[in-house]
Amino acid sequence: MKRVLMLLANGVEPLEMAAFTDVLGWGTLLGNEPVQLVDVGMRPLIKTTFGLQLKPNNLIDDVDLSTFDALAIPGGFEPSGFYDEALDERFLSIIRYFSETKKIVASICVASIALGAAGILKNRRATTYHQVEGIRKQQLIDTGAIFIDKPIVVDEALITSTGPGTALEVAFELLEQLTDKNNVNEVRIKMRMPMPSSEWYQKPQVA
């Protein structure tokens, strides 16, 4: 069975977290191959972006990273303290481990800022949440990333995206890399989740 570690920082965006839990959960129940999602936090109680509190089932020191096939990181908001933990050295060291061992790393929205801070985006195609004159694009570029203004950017086993609205598609891309395209298509049908148009995949955040 494939295993995915979902790394949660305080201030995480609930919708982005739910995309991983739902898509991989549906894939396990109704797909052709089970995928176990293991949620991991840096603290026993997390306060999410909009105040919802949750208790991770595991803490960082409790898991053996070598037993996982992929890393999934939902993003969050700065006012909620997301970067305090997402840029913590313990958080970044986990990202580096998955990159160095050539495993899949999937991030949503500003979680890619942590990927850049971990040093894994140099000369890699990636994206993040971006507004006109926004700082996040520059933060990504400053880490050596090749910024691409598209909803989802896939550079081999590295998946980045631009915001909560891309979360499901990131999760489907992760599931496809772990299993296969036919499986993802079947899970989409069972979830009643249509494929976005080709225009959606090409549309930049800033015209």
Could you state, in order of their start, the residue ranges of all structural domains in the chain? 2-202
Are the C-beta atoms of 58 and 80 separated by less than 8 Å? no
Please give the Cα distance from 145 to 138 (Å, whole number): 10
Write out pLDDT tens, residues 73-121.
Answer: 999 999 999 999 999 999 999 999 999 999 999 999 999 999 999 999 9
pLDDT (0 to 100) of residue 131? 87
In 42-134 the beta strands, taken as DSSP E runs, fall at 46-47, 53-54, 58-59, 70-73, 104-107, 125-126
pLDDT (0 to 100) of residue 207? 75
Superfamily per CATH, domain 2-202: Class I glutamine amidotransferase (GATase) domain (3.40.50.880)
Residue 61 has pLDDT above 80, yes or no: yes
What is the DSSP-derived secondary structure letter of residue 74? -
pTM over the 0.85 mark: yes
